């Protein structure tokens, strides 16, 4: 009896040992595979971050307002060129249009000693001084969308804003008859490109007596701002029968503002830019014409030029991107890309 019990006991001990060894082995196997897998992953990530510091250049693009739809298009074009040329592109901008913050970012990027800065030009001596500081430190500067001609920037890439303003004037001369009392909604009074567009517009209509500007207000480059500006313009000057918006969201906001204050009034509207909503409103007959700019092209060309500057010193170059009038006849061809 004792022998039988002992044998069964030994048997049990052996199989328990076997089970423990098997579990031990299984744990070892899982850990080993895990080690190889995670080890590979770590190695792989390291390889990736290795290549992240292999970019040829580090450029910065500073926008008037970081999340503005128009500036996101400039960014898109810049990113495309950056991807084609091994450029690390940093996209920055104030959350709301604000020159003080824009200039702070400019200064900070100069101190960071990046390889090149592409920035919207801003009014005032501070911008000129910072551009000078950057050039002294051999950081090329390209103004994009808005130029500061008095600065030492290496180049400007963007619309000829004076000419674009003239085009806006032309659409009103050609498409309206009789007295026109014009209300203007501008992005910001202190933006150089807005001032240039206004100057071009004024010069274009100067000789046409039946067209005169009666009032202007700023939208702070927001749709809601443009709606409010339109509302107060029409309240103050009920004679207005033409509206001109000189920045990308003004046309959309003007339609919104009109819906509130004068939904049945027949008003001729000229907008700026070809954001999808603006094209839709043209198609619906709520906006008559718009002045097309090419923000993605600006971003793309600015990066290419910045790469050139890394090798050669070029001063005072102006690269004008296209500008054209778009009306209801062009909208579809414009959307499909047939008309560029
Ligand atoms: C102007 C930009 C501006 C944008 C605002 C564009 O028409 O060219 O300077 O930032 O409108 O939406």
pLDDT in tens, 28-70: 777 766 665 665 555 444 444 444 558 999 999 999 999 999 9
Q: Which CATH number fits domain 57-159+295-322: 3.50.50.60, 3.30.200.20, 3.40.50.2300, 3.30.70.920?
A: 3.40.50.2300
Which are the contacts of 175, defined by CB distance < 8 A and separation ≥ 6?
Answer: 268, 288, 289
Which residue, by CA, sits nearest to atom 1 of ligand 1?
A: 247
For residue 275, what pLDDT band results from cuts at 50, 70 and 90? very high
pLDDT at 232: 97
Q: Is the dihedral of CA 98, 99, 101, 106 positive or negative?
A: positive
Q: Are 283 and 301 in contact (CB under 8 A)?
A: no
Which candidate, 81, 128, 136, 145, places its Cα nearest to that of 111? 136
DSSP letter at 141 equals E
294 lines ligand 1 (CB under 6 A): no
Q: What is the pLDDT of residue 217?
A: 98
* pLDDT for position 36: 59
Distance CA 141, CA 115 (A): 10
Which atom of ligand 1 is least distant from the CA of 63?
10
Condensed to tens digits (0 to 9), the pLDDT of residues 108-146 reads 999 999 999 999 999 999 999 999 999 999 999 999 999
Q: Number of helices and strands (H, E) in the chain?
A: 11, 12
What pLDDT sits at residue 300?
98
Ligand 1 pocket, mutate which of 95, 157, 273, 290 (most atoms under 8 A from CB): 273
**Tokens representing 207?**
């000789």
Give the per-residue pLDDT at 26.
72
Residue bearing the bigger pLDDT, 18 or 264: 264
Higher pLDDT, 27 or 291: 291
State the distance from the centre of ligand 1 to the C-alpha of 274, rounded, in angstroms: 11
CA–CA separation, 118 and 3 (whole Å):
92
Distance from residue 203's CA to the centre of ligand 1 (Å): 21
Q: How far is the CA of 70 from the centre of ligand 1 (A)?
A: 6
Kindly state if the Cβ of 70 falls inside 6 Å of ligand 1. yes
CA distances from 57 to 29, 127, 295, 302, 310 (A): 46, 24, 22, 14, 9
Backbone angles phi, psi at 314, to 5 degrees: -120, 135
Length of the chain: 340
Lowest mean pLDDT, pick from 3-17, 143-157, 202-216, 248-262: 3-17
Q: What are phi and psi of 115, to 5 degrees?
A: -85, -15
Ligand 1 in reach of 172 Cβ (< 6 A): no
Residue spans per domain, the chain: 57-159+295-322, 161-292
Which residue's structure tokens are 């920045």? 247
Per-residue pLDDT averaged across 75-104, rounded?
98
> CB 269: neighbour CB atoms within 10 A?
23
pLDDT of res. 6: 62
Give the confidence band of 23 by pLDDT, cuts at 50, 70, 90: confident
Report d(CA 308, CA 310) in Å as an integer: 5
What per-residue confidence (pLDDT) applies to 272? 98
User: Is 273 near ligand 1, meaning CB less than 6 Å away?
Assistant: yes
Task: Enter the pTM of the model.
Answer: 0.84
Mutating to test ligand 1, I would choose from 61, 62, 67, 70 the residue with most ligand atoms within 8 A of its C-beta, which is 70
In whole numbers, what is the pLDDT of the chain averaged over residues?
91
What digits encode the pLDDT tens for the residues 295-334? Answer: 999 999 999 999 999 988 766 699 999 999 999 999 888 7
Provide the pairing of β-strand 289-292 with 324-327: antiparallel
CA angle in degrees (0–180, nearest 5) for 271-274-276: 115
CA distances from 64 to 180, 203, 303 (A): 32, 27, 18
Q: Which two tokens stand for residue 83?
A: 């991807």
Ligand 1 contact, 193 CB (< 6 A)? yes
Task: Say if 57-159+295-322 and 161-292 have the same CATH topology.
Answer: yes
CA separation for the pair 220, 95 (Å, rounded): 12
CB 177 within 8 A of CB 209: no
Is the distance from CB of 253 to CB of 192 less than 8 angstroms? no
CB 223 within 8 A of CB 277: no
Can you tell me the distance from the alpha carbon of 134 to that of 105, in angstroms, rounded to the nearest whole number?
A: 13
Distance 5 CA to ligand 1 centre (A): 93
- Domain spanning 161-292, CATH architecture: 3-Layer(aba) Sandwich (3.40)
Residue 50 confidence (pLDDT): 45
Whether ligand 1 lies within 6 angstroms of the CB of 176 is answered as no
């Amino acid at each position: 009896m004792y022998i039988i019990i002992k044998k069964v006991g030994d048997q049990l001990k052996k199989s328990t040992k076997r089970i423990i060894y098997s579990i031990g082995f299984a744990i070892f196997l899982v850990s080993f595979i895990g080690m190889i897998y995670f080890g590979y992953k770590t190695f792989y990530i390291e390889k990736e971050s290795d290549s992240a510091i292999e970019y040829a250049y580090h450029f910065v693009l500073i926008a008037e307002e970081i999340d503005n739809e128009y500036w996101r298009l400039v960014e898109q074009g810049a990113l495309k060129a950056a991807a084609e040329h091994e450029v690390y592109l940093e996209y920055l901008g104030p959350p709301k249009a604000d020159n003080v913050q824009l200039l702070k970012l400019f200064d900070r990027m100069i101190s960071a000693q990046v390889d090149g800065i592409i920035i919207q030009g801003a009014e005032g001596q501070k911008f000129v001084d910072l551009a000078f500081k950057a050039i002294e430190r051999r950081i090329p500067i390209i103004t994009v969308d808005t130029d500061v001609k008095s600065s030492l920037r290496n180049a400007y890439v963007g619309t000829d804003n004076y000419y674009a303003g003239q085009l806006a004037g032309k659409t009103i001369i050609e498409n309206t008859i009789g007295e026109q009392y014009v209300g203007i909604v501008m992005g910001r009074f202190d933006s150089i490109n807005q001032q240039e567009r206004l100057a071009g517009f004024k010069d274009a209509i100067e000789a046409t007596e039946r067209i005169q500007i009666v009032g202007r207000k700023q939208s702070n480059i927001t749709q809601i701002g443009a709606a409010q500006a339109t509302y107060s313009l029409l309240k103050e000057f009920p004679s207005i029968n033409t509206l001109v918006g000189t920045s990308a969201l003004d046309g959309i906001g003007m339609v919104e503002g009109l819906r509130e204050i004068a939904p049945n009034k027949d008003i001729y509207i000229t907008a700026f830019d070809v954001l999808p909503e603006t094209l839709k409103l043209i198609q619906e007959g709520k906006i008559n014409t718009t002045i097309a700019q090419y923000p993605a092209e600006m971003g793309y060309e600015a990066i290419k030029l910045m790469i050139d500057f890394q090798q050669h010193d070029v001063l005072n170059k102006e690269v004008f991107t296209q500008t054209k009038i778009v009306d209801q006849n062009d909208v579809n061809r414009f959307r499909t890309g047939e008309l560029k």
